[in-house]
Amino acid sequence: MRYPLLKLKYFVALALRSFWRDLFVTASIALTLGAGIGASMTTFSIVHILAGDPIPTKSAVLFQPSVSLDGSDETDVQPKMAYQDAKAFTERSLSRESVILAQGLGPVETDDRRGGQGSSLLRFTTKDFFRMFDIPFASGGSWGQKEDVGGEHVAVLSKETAIHLFGSTLAVGKAIVVGGAVFRVVGVMDNWHPIPRFYDLSIGAYMHPEDVYIPIRSIGDLNSEVFVSFNCGDGADAGAIMSGRFDRLFHSECTWTTVWVELPSSSEKREYSDFLAGYLKEQRSVGRAAPRGRQSLRNLLDVLAQAKIVPGDVRVYTVLTFLFLALSLLSAAGALLGGFLQRSSEVQIRRALGASRSDILMQFLVESFLLGVVGGAVGLLMTLIGLSAVRSFPSLAAQVVRIDGTVLGVTLVLSLASGVIAGLVPAWRAARGEIGLELKLG
Amino acid sequence: MVEFSLLLRALRRHKIIVAILVLEFAITFAILSNVFFLTAQRFSTLYQKSGIQEQRLVIATLHSDGFGALLPSSGILDEAKGVVAAVPGVIGVSIVGQTPFSGNDMWRSKVSRTRGEGGATVDASTYSGDAQAMSVLGFKISSGRWFSREEFESGGAIPELSRIHLVLITRQLANKIFGKTVPLGETLYVTGVPMVVIGVIDVLSRPAYYGADKSEDAIFLPVIPSSAVTSSVAVRMSDNLRVPVEPAVHAITSSLQRILRGRSYWKVSSFQEQRRKYFETDSAALRVLTLALVAISVVALNAISASSGYWVRQRSRHVAIRRAIGATRGQIVAYFLIENAVICMTGLFVGASLAVSVNLWMVRNLGVGFIPPSSFAVGAALLFSIGQAAVLYPSLRMPSEFGRP
C-alpha cells in the first residue's frame, strides 16, 4: 500500500465526517459498546480483586502443611491441629522460615486503663510471621527467638490499634493489657490488608487482619476474658480452657493451630512432604494417629482455590455480564451493517474513482475501531460508576473492590478490539458489492 | 404455502443480518430468563414470611465483650423483664431463646420420626421461651395447643433435653417428617430424645434463611432460657398507633442500661429493623438485579428494534414492486410479522439451550436452583412482543405504490 499514513489520515477524516453526519446513530453504538464493556469490566475487576494473588512475590513458595490424625472429613479449608504437631512441623523446616498461627478475641487496654478497645482480634504466632508475609512496619519490628521460646510478654500492634490506643504509631516501649497480662509493644505495623486474607480464612476471606500480635507461648498467662478458637474432643480439656487455663492448649489433643512454611525449591518441597508422610507413620506407630489419618502439603494458591472464596453471586453476575458484552457487540454489528450498507452509493463512487476493495474495508474498519475507542472510554466511566455502586454493598467483600492496572489494561484491549470485532463482518459485506449495480439503481 | 417458502428463500439470501438478529434474540433470551429468575428468587427471599406479628415488636439482646468469668448471671433476664414491663406502651414481655431473622441460629437440633440412624433427620432451629412467648411474638398455632404454665422447664446453663417431653413443630417441618397426617400425639425424636407433638405452628421462620425449602424447619421447646448472652427479651407494644415505636425503643434501651453487669451492653431494635438488617444484602442485590433487568431490556430492545426495523426499511423497493403487482398492505405487514416471528422463534430456540446451559452451570457450581418454566415464558413473551412491535411500525409506513418512499 502506498502512502499508508496519508491513507490512514484520510480514513480517519472520512470516519469523523460520517460520525458527524449521523451523530445519533454513532452515539447509540458507542453507548451500547460502553454499556457492554462497563458491565463486564465491573464484574471482571471484582473477580480479579477477590480471587487475586494476595502476595505475588511469595505465593509460589508458601505452603501449608496439615495433618488429620483421625482422618475425619474436614469441613475447614484450613484444618487446625494440635500444638505438638505444629511444633514438629515448624522445627523440621530448619533454616527456612516457618510460622505457627492461632486466633483469638479479647479486650485490649493501655496499662493505665485510660484507653481501650472492646473485642479486639488477637493473633498468637511466632516471630517469622512478619518477615514471611512481608509485613511493613511503621516503627519497631518483630520479636525474636528468645521471646518465642520464653513466651515473653511482647506485642506488635496494627497501625489502627496503635493510633486508637496511643494516638500515634510511635508506640514502641509502651505497655498494653491483654487478658489481664501486661505486654510491652515492640513494633507497630504499617497498613497491611492482604486480599484475600490468605494466612487465615476462618473468620472471612475479606476480614481485616488482627489488631494485636503476641507470641503464642504467652497465651498460658492470659485469663478467661480472652477467647481462643479451639476444638476439643475431650470435655475436661474444653472446660479447663474455657475457664481460662490456656496452658492446657499446649499439652492436649485440642486442635487450634495452623502452620505455614516457606519452601523455595521443588526438592525442598519433596523433602518436606516426605517428612510429613514419615511423621504420620510415626504417629500411627505410637497410636496417636488412626490408620485413616491423612496429611497434606498445599501451596497458598491451591488453598485459596479450594476455599472457593469468591461469592457465588459474583460468579453468576460475571457470566451474565459477559453474555451482555456479547449482546452489545452484536447490537453494534447490526447497527454498523445498516449504516455501512446505507452508504453503498458512496462506496460505489469511491470504487469507480479507483479505490480498491481493501481500501473500502480499511475505511470501514478504521471507523468501527474509532467507535470502539469511544465506547471503551464510556465503558471505563461505567466501570468506575459500577464499582462505586458495588462498594456501597453491605458486605466485607464489596468494601475491598477497586480498579487496578490489570483491569485498566484489559479494558483498553477490550475497547480496541470491540470496535474491530463488531465492524469486521459489516465492513467486509459493505466492501464486497459489485461496481455499477448500485450506481445504476441509486 | 407459497408465501412461506418465498419467505425462507429470502431469509437464506440475507445470511448476515438474519444471523445477527437470531443471535440477538438468543443471547437476550438467555440473559433475560436467568436474570429474571435470579430476581424472582431474591424477591421471594426478601418477602419471606416470619410467621410472627412483626409490627410493634421490639427485641432486646444482651451482648458481651470478653468471655468466661465476666458473663452476666442469668438473673439479669428476669430483672430486665420487670424493668421493661414498666415502660409505658408495653403490653407484654417474654424471654425467648432466639428470634426469626436475627442471623444467630445458635440452637439447632437433629429431629427425626424414629430414634435410630435409619430414618431421615432434619436439621431444625430450636426455639425456646417462657409462657408468654406465643402471645408476645404473635405466631399462630394451626392445630393442637400452646404449652400450659406448669409444662415449662427452666433451662440451666445447657438445657437438659431428657427433662423435656413436649414439643411444638412448624407445619412445614411436620409435612416433611410426618407427611400429610396431622402429627398431634405423635412422637418426635429431638437429638435422640422422644417428645410428644402437642401442637403445630402455622408459620415460623428460622433465625437465619437457608432457602425456601428449609425456611421453616423449626421446633419450639417449653424451656425458659437462662443463658443471658444468647437469649433475647421480646417486647410487645400496644396497638395504640398514637404511641410510636421508635421512642419506645429508646425508653426500653435506657431502662435496660440501668441493670448492666460487667462488660455487657444491650442492643435494642424494632423487629422490623432486625429484619431489614438481616436482608440488607438481599435487598441491595435485588436493587442491582432490577437495575440490570432494566438496562438489559433497554439495550436489547434497542438492538432488536434497530436491526429488525432497518431490515424492513431496506426492502422498501421490493415492497413497492409487490404492491404494484397487487399485494395488499395487510399482506405486506403480515409478511414482515411472520418473518420476524420465524427469526424470533429460531433465536428463542438457540437462546433456550444457551439459557439452560448457563443455568446448569450455575446449578452445578453455585448451588442455584433450576429455572422454572415460568421464567422462560416471561422472557419469551417479552422478546416476541418486542420483535413484533419493532417490525410493525416500519412495515405500516411502507410505500403504498411504486415510486420513491
| DSSP-derived secondary structure for A128-157 | HHHHHTT--EEEE----HHHHHHT-SEEEE
Amino acid (1-letter code) at residue B28: T
Strands B57-64, A212-215: parallel, antiparallel or unpaired by DSSP? unpaired
Closest to A309 in 3D by CA, of A180, A171, A200, A434 = A200
Shared domain check, B304 and B223: no
What was the pLDDT predicted at B69? 40
From the list A224, A323, A392, the residue facing B31 with the nearest CB is A323
Question: Inter-chain contact A319–B69, Cβ cutoff 8 Å?
Answer: no
What percent of chain A clears pLDDT 70, i.e. is strictly above it?
Answer: 95
The pLDDT tens digits for B54-78 are 989 999 988 765 444 445 566 788 8
- 10 Å CB burial of residue A47 (0-12, 13-18, 19+) is middle
> Is A385 at the interface with chain B, CB within 8 A?
no
Question: Inter-chain contact B306–A335, Cβ cutoff 8 Å?
Answer: yes
Q: How many Å apart are CA B27 and CA B371, to the nearest integer?
A: 16
Shared domain check, B340 and B201: no
The pLDDT tens digits for B352-404 are 999 998 888 878 776 677 888 888 888 899 889 888 988 888 888 776 654 44
> Is A242 at the interface with chain B, CB within 8 A?
yes
Amino acid (1-letter code) at residue A241: I
> Is A338 at the interface with chain B, CB within 8 A?
yes
From the list B27, B281, B307, the residue facing A334 with the nearest CB is B307
Closest to A128 in 3D by CA, of A153, A101, A167 = A101
Say whether the ipTM exceeds 0.90. no
DSSP state of A31: H
Question: Inter-chain contact B299–A320, Cβ cutoff 8 Å?
Answer: no
What percent of chain B clears pLDDT 90, i.e. is strictly above it?
Answer: 28
Shared domain check, B257 and B284: no
DSSP state of B129: B
Take residue A40 and report the three cell numbers written for it. 463486564
Residue B268 within any structural domain of the chain = no
- Contacts with B, A 85-124, CB within 8 Å: 105-107, 118-119
Contact indicator for A310, A205 with CB cutoff of 8 Å: no
Peptide bond into A196 cis (omega under 30): yes
Question: Inter-chain contact B300–A39, Cβ cutoff 8 Å?
Answer: no
Contact indicator for A365, A22 with CB cutoff of 8 Å: no
Take residue A97 and report the three cell numbers written for it. 522460615
Distance (Å) from the alpha carbon of A394 to chain B's nearest alpha carbon: 6
- 10 Å CB burial of residue B221 (0-12, 13-18, 19+) is buried
Strands B223-224, B153-154: parallel, antiparallel or unpaired by DSSP? parallel
Contact indicator for B31, B363 with CB cutoff of 8 Å: no
DSSP state of B27: H
The pLDDT tens digits for A97-152 are 899 999 988 888 888 877 777 678 999 999 999 999 999 999 999 999 999 999 99
Residue B345 within any structural domain of the chain = yes
- Nearest chain A residue to B359 by CA distance is A316
From the list B34, B68, B365, the residue facing A320 with the nearest CB is B34
Residue B28 within any structural domain of the chain = yes
Q: Which residues of B touch A34 (CB under 8 A)?
A: none
Contact indicator for B355, B34 with CB cutoff of 8 Å: yes
Phi, psi (degrees; rounded to nearest 5) at A114? -80, -45
What was the pLDDT predicted at B106? 77
The pLDDT tens digits for A159-179 are 999 999 999 999 999 999 998
What was the pLDDT predicted at A142? 95
DSSP letters along A73-85, please? PP--SS--B-HHH
> Is A273 at the interface with chain B, CB within 8 A?
no
Residue B34 within any structural domain of the chain = yes
Residues of B with CB under 8 A from a CB of A: 16-17, 20-21, 23-24, 27-28, 30-31, 34-35, 38, 65-70, 263, 280-281, 284-285, 288, 292, 295-296, 299-300, 302-303, 306-307, 310-311, 314, 354, 358, 361-362, 365-368
Question: Inter-chain contact B69–A224, Cβ cutoff 8 Å?
Answer: yes
CA angle B357-B362-B365, nearest 5°? 120
Q: Give the residue with greater pLDDT, B291 vs B341.
A: B341
Shared domain check, B365 and B310: yes
- B344's enclosing H/E stretch is helix B329-366
Shared domain check, B311 and B210: no
From the list B17, B31, B66, the residue facing A225 with the nearest CB is B66
Q: How many Å apart are CA A170 and CA A187, to the nearest integer?
A: 9
For residue A125, the cross-strand partners are A101, A215
Shared domain check, B215 and B166: yes
Contact indicator for A47, A318 with CB cutoff of 8 Å: yes
> Is A59 at the interface with chain B, CB within 8 A?
no
What was the pLDDT predicted at A157? 95
The SS3 assignment for A407 reads helix
Domain end (from B261, B296, B315)? B261
From the list B16, B21, B28, the residue facing A429 with the nearest CB is B16
Residue B157 confidence class, pLDDT cut points 50, 70, 90: low
For residue A297, the cross-strand partners are A65
Shared domain check, B207 and B148: yes
Count of A-B CB contacts under 8 Å: 127
Domain end (from B204, B228, B261)? B261
Q: Over the range B139-163, which residues count as b (16 or more CB within 10 Å of their CB) and which as e?
A: bebeebebbeeeebbebeeebebee
Shared domain check, B156 and B193: yes
Instruction: Write out the residue range of the structural domain in which residue B329 sits.
Output: 4-46+280-400
CA distances from A225 to A105, A107, A174, A329 (A): 9, 7, 22, 60
- Contacts with B, A 188-207, CB within 8 Å: none
Question: Inter-chain contact A334–B38, Cβ cutoff 8 Å?
Answer: no
Question: Inter-chain contact A119–B367, Cβ cutoff 8 Å?
Answer: no
Contact indicator for B12, B335 with CB cutoff of 8 Å: no
Shared domain check, B190 and B115: yes
Mutate to test the interface with A, among B13, B20, B302, B363 (most CBs of A within 10 A): B20
From the list B20, B23, B362, the residue facing A316 with the nearest CB is B362
Q: How many Å apart are CA A72 and CA A283, to the nearest integer?
A: 16
Question: Inter-chain contact B285–A313, Cβ cutoff 8 Å?
Answer: yes
The pLDDT tens digits for B261-312 are 666 778 899 999 999 988 888 888 888 888 888 888 888 878 888 888 777 8
- Counting the structural domains of chain B, the total is 2
Question: Inter-chain contact A225–B300, Cβ cutoff 8 Å?
Answer: no
Shared domain check, B231 and B133: yes
The SS3 assignment for A67 reads strand
From the list A105, A334, A395, the residue facing B303 with the nearest CB is A334
Question: Inter-chain contact B296–A324, Cβ cutoff 8 Å?
Answer: yes
Q: How many Å apart are CA A263 and CA A273, to the nearest integer?
A: 11
CA distances from A126 to A84, A101, A176, A434 (A): 14, 7, 19, 79
Q: How many Å apart are CA A376 and CA A36, to the nearest integer?
A: 9
Shared domain check, B315 and B257: no
CA distances from B62 to A3, B65, B260 (A): 81, 10, 9
The pLDDT tens digits for A354-410 are 888 888 888 899 999 999 999 999 999 999 998 888 887 777 777 777 788 888 898
Contact indicator for B132, B142 with CB cutoff of 8 Å: no
Residue B394 within any structural domain of the chain = yes
Domain end (from B227, B261, B295)? B261
From the list A28, A105, A429, the residue facing B302 with the nearest CB is A28
Strand ranges in B99-140 using DSSP code E only, listed in sequence order: 108-112, 122-128
What was the pLDDT predicted at A33? 92
> Is A239 at the interface with chain B, CB within 8 A?
no
Query: Comparing A244-248, A342-346, A411-415, which segment has the lowest mean pLDDT?
Result: A342-346
Question: Inter-chain contact A35–B310, Cβ cutoff 8 Å?
Answer: no
CA angle A130-A134-A136, nearest 5°? 80
What was the pLDDT predicted at B405? 42
Closest to A85 in 3D by CA, of A101, A98, A70, A67 = A67
Q: Which residues of B touch A106 (CB under 8 A)?
A: 66-67
pTM of the entire predicted model: 0.77
Residue B182 within any structural domain of the chain = yes
Residue B56 within any structural domain of the chain = no
Residue B267 within any structural domain of the chain = no
Question: Inter-chain contact A334–B67, Cβ cutoff 8 Å?
Answer: no
Shared domain check, B168 and B287: no
- A24's enclosing H/E stretch is helix A23-50
Mutate to test the interface with B, among A120, A315, A316 (most CBs of B within 10 A): A316
> Is A324 at the interface with chain B, CB within 8 A?
yes
